[in-house]
């Protein structure tokens, strides 16, 4: 499973890119607002740091303007992935942009039917929002499982990009369910490495090593 960082904080992205664990980045209007920077400027900087796909989202809601904005974003770098909402205009724009050779990330997916439409439109990624479904007492992981079955039934190339990930269990369950990508904030990736038994074991080893009086 690929790991994408869900942030527009360039310093965080640069730090995580050095770990070798980062496969791409997703952004959205809210993250761009939080960065306080111009969208084209920050996306260009991110694309210089990350070799993988970097999602930049259009702000338009109609087909023609989505196309114009998508094409403008695609000029930033070769690894830009145009992020579009799952609406009729968004699906139509997705098909056109894919036919023109661009990658797309169809966002705000909350049903298997929506994901099926994205695959039919040729979307590169579909982004089911797990956490937001959980907030409504709906099992977000069940959606990942349903999409995986549908995509496998018909050999669709669209990748499942699990989004709105909030816990380390979300990451594990997405991997078990067969999601292709998990996008998450830096804080969640940091928690993946943590385990109290690892910390306790390391402390014991270091204490014993100190007693040997040796150096390597």
User: Given pLDDT bands bounded at 50, 70 and 90, which one contains residue 42?
Assistant: very high
Distances in whole angstroms, Cα of residue 158 to Cα of each of 85, 141, 152, 154: 15, 18, 10, 11
What is the helix (H) or strand (E) element at residue 108, kind and residue range? Answer: strand 103-109
Q: Which pLDDT does position 169 carry in this prediction? A: 95
Give the domain CATH number at 66: 3.20.20.70
Residue 32 half-sphere exposure toward CB, CA atoms < 13 A: 17
Q: Which pLDDT does position 97 carry in this prediction? A: 98
Over the chain, what is the mean pLDDT?
97
Handedness of CA 57, 63, 65, 71 (dihedral sign): positive
Q: Which domain holds residue 202?
A: 2-212
Round the CA-based radius of gyration of the chain to a whole number and report it. Answer: 19
pLDDT digits (tens, 9 = 90+) for 156-191: 999 999 999 999 999 999 999 999 999 999 999 999
Residue 204 half-sphere exposure toward CB, CA atoms < 13 A: 6
**Cα(201)–Cα(204) distance, integer angstroms:** 5
Q: How many domains does the chain have?
A: 1
pLDDT digits (tens, 9 = 90+) for 13-37: 999 999 999 999 999 999 999 999 9
User: Given pLDDT bands bounded at 50, 70 and 90, which one contains residue 110?
Assistant: very high
User: Given pLDDT bands bounded at 50, 70 and 90, which one contains residue 69?
Assistant: very high
User: Given pLDDT bands bounded at 50, 70 and 90, which one contains residue 122?
Assistant: very high
Q: Which pLDDT does position 21 carry in this prediction? A: 95
pLDDT digits (tens, 9 = 90+) for 76-101: 999 999 999 999 999 999 999 999 99
Q: What is the percent of the chain where pLDDT is above 70?
A: 100
Distances in whole angstroms, Cα of residue 144 to Cα of each of 69, 111, 116, 127, 150: 29, 9, 12, 10, 10
Q: What is the mean pLDDT of residues 55-72?
A: 98
Q: Would you mind telling me the total number of residues written for the chain in this entry?
A: 216
User: Given pLDDT bands bounded at 50, 70 and 90, which one contains residue 61?
Assistant: very high
Please tell me whether residue 84 adopts helix, strand or coil conformation: strand
Q: Which pLDDT does position 67 carry in this prediction? A: 98
Q: Which pLDDT does position 36 carry in this prediction? A: 95
User: Given pLDDT bands bounded at 50, 70 and 90, which one contains residue 71?
Assistant: very high
Give yes or no for a contact between 147 and 160, defined as CB atoms under 8 angstroms apart: yes
Provide the annotated active-site residues: 83
Q: What is the mean pLDDT of residues 111-116?
A: 98
The widest CA-to-CA distance across the chain, in whole angstroms, is 71
pLDDT digits (tens, 9 = 90+) for 138-153: 999 999 999 999 999 9
Q: Are strands 125-128 and 159-162 parallel, antiparallel or unpaired?
A: parallel
């Amino acid at each position: 499973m690929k790991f994408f960082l869900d942030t527009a904080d360039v310093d965080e992205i640069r730090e995580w890119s050095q770990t070798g664990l980062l496969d791409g980045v997703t952004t959205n209007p809210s993250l761009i607002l939080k960065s306080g920077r111009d969208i084209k400027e920050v996306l260009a900087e991110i694309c210089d740091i990350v070799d993988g796909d970097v999602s930049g989202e259009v702000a338009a809601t109609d087909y023609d303007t989505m196309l114009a904005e998508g094409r403008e974003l695609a000029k930033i770098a070769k690894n830009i992935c145009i992020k579009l909402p799952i609406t009729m205009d968004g699906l139509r724009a997705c098909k056109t942009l894919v036919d023109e050779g661009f990658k797309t990330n169809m966002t705000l997916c909350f049903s298997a039917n929506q994901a099926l439409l994205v695959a039919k439109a040729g979307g590169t990624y579909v982004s089911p929002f797990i956490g937001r479904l959980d907030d409504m007492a709906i099992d977000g992981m069940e959606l990942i499982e349903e999409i995986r079955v549908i995509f496998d039934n018909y050999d669709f190339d669209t990748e499942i990009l699990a989004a709105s990930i909030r816990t380390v269990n979300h990451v594990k369950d997405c991997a078990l369910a067969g999601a292709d990508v998990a996008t998450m904030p830096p804080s969640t990736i940091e928690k993946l490495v943590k385990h109290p038994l690892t910390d306790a074991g390391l402390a014991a080893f270091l204490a014993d090593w100190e007693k040997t009086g040796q150096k390597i």
